Structure 1
Amino acid sequence: MKRLTQKLLSLLALLSAEVVVLWAVFFGCLLLFLAMANEVFRQGDTALDDALFRFADGHTSPPVTRLMIGISFFASAEYLLVVPPLVVLVLSFFKGLRWLGLKVLLISMSSAILNQVMKRIFERPRPEMAMLEQSGLSFPSGHAMIGGSFYGLLIYIVWQTVPHRGWRWALILLLTLLILLIGYSRIYLKVHYATDVLAGYAMGLLWLLLSLYLMRRLEEVFVEKVEEKQA
């Protein structure tokens, strides 16, 4: 009995720590987004953007440029129109993972729509010195926001489903590195400012956390209704 009580207390402590961390990340993302918006649209401070452009200029070369274009593709509209549905299709073959597939579809689509709405609200033009021709507006970065939420969701799925600890952490680190490189590629190619990318990261993660919470609540309501019908 004593051992069972200790295990329950340990579990409650772990759950409490997870809740605290999630809330801290959520509000941290919100504060980061507000800070970037304030820096750009109220203060007009370009110090961070200029510093990151200078840093990128320090190692600009044709091979690096080709690499950055390739990395940037992994969060392009063409890529994200195809890959999330493929992920959904693969997950649909596994009975226990179909709900995760629905999450991939809904979160990917909703983050893309939200990004376009936010760009229309802020209406920040892209950098004039862009190395690629890109249409649309700049704040927040769609690659950082939509790609961040998509790959962040894949990290969540890996954490939930990959049993082997080594493979789980290897995949998580690989996906995290890809998220960071995608954001940097947009700065390197000068199609986004650093503040666009940071705001995109913040809003992408914030939307991912909010979406996962809302879908979990829907899942709980659905399970409760099923149990009531069976009773």
Structure 2
Amino acid sequence: MHVFKQQLQQLSLYFNYIISLPVSSYNMRQRLTQTFLRLLALLTAEVLVLGLAMLLCLALFFFMAHLVFVARDNTLDAALFAFADRFSSPAMTQVMRGVSFFASFEYLLVVPPLVVLVFSFFRGWRWLALKVLLISFSTSILNQLLKRYFERPRPETALLEQSGMSFPSGHAMIGGAFYGVLIYIVWRTVRAEVWRWVLTLLLTLLVLLIGFSRIYLRVHYATDVLAGYAIGLLWLMLSLYFMRRLEASYSRKYEQQV
């Protein structure tokens, strides 16, 4: 928000400068006005859409927190537990345990560093490697801080033992952020649009299945999972936005030195 205010102040100063130009500088004023309008269009497209998406994520997170800790309404949790129970079977339980593994502590302890290691060998992908590392690591820390703050116990009817607090779901939050970065990388690196959409849909489906697996296994309430998705996506968008600005700033400084 502070960065957004600074951008608006800079644009306001720029606009005042354009207006103050003398009539003899009409052509220059026209060119500057066109440049200003292009900058304003970019600002509107990126910042406003991004800001709206982040506000929606924040609203969803606080709504889930309100349901759990203020209203103490378990209607949503009970409804989704009942829905998951329709698919209950020994075979499905094994499948859900397998799906859940793809956002487990053991998995995320190994796979993101491996992705970073592979990306580091490609010169143009080193910034992408840094994004994977920082976003995965920072999301994990944020999740633990939120769990300790809210201290919601896990469901008592869990199908497997799981330590730690329940709100928000670490699998939904950290897994969503990690696979969200991979979706971002897909759109940055894959040229064929068909494959972009195929990979995006597969990764999105995996994230949704991971969230459902946590409800099915009764190690999380539905409100935990939805809150995890919301805050994980919010943190992902914030991180990517500021890291893109850092990357652009670094690139400009490097070009000036060269």
TM-score using structure 1 length: 0.91
Deviation for aligned residue 1:154: 0.3
Q: Is it true that 1:62 corresponds to 2:90 in the alignment?
A: yes
> In the alignment, is the contact (CA less than 8 A) between 2:127 and 2:247 conserved in 1?
no
Q: Decide which of 90, 93, 101 is 2:129's aligned counterpart.
A: 101
- State how far apart, in whole Å, the 2-side matches of 1:15 and 1:167 are: 29
Look up the match of 1:184.
212
Look up the match of 1:194.
222
Look up the match of 2:231.
203
Q: Is it true that 1:48 corresponds to 2:76 in the alignment?
A: yes
- State how far apart, in whole Å, the 1-side matches of 2:53 and 2:218 are: 28
Q: Is it true that 1:131 corresponds to 2:124 in the alignment?
A: no
**RMSD of aligned alpha carbons:** 1.8
Look up the match of 2:31.
none
Deviation for aligned residue 1:216: 1.5
- State how far apart, in whole Å, the 1-side matches of 2:243 and 2:46 are: 18
Look up the match of 1:5.
none
- State how far apart, in whole Å, the 1-side matches of 2:227 and 2:94 are: 25
Look up the match of 2:11.
none
Give percent identity, aligned residues only: 69
Deviation for aligned residue 1:24: 2.0
- State how far apart, in whole Å, the 2-side matches of 1:218 and 1:18 are: 16
Alignment of 1:83-98 (within 5 A): 83-98=111-126
Look up the match of 2:105.
77
Q: Decide which of 218, 234, 244 is 1:216's aligned counterpart.
A: 244
Tell me: CA distance 1:30–1:67, structure 2 relative to 1, closer, same or farther (3 Å): same
- Partner letter of residue 64 of structure 1? M
- State how far apart, in whole Å, the 1-side matches of 2:202 and 2:244 are: 26
The runs of 5 or more residues in structure 2 that have no matched partner are: 1-36
- State how far apart, in whole Å, the 1-side matches of 2:73 and 2:129 are: 41
- State how far apart, in whole Å, the 2-side matches of 1:85 and 1:168 are: 23
Q: Decide which of 168, 181, 194 is 1:140's aligned counterpart.
A: 168
- State how far apart, in whole Å, the 2-side matches of 1:227 and 1:13 are: 26
- State how far apart, in whole Å, the 2-side matches of 1:226 and 1:167 are: 33
Deviation for aligned residue 1:21: 3.1
Q: Give the match's secondary structure for 1:104.
A: helix
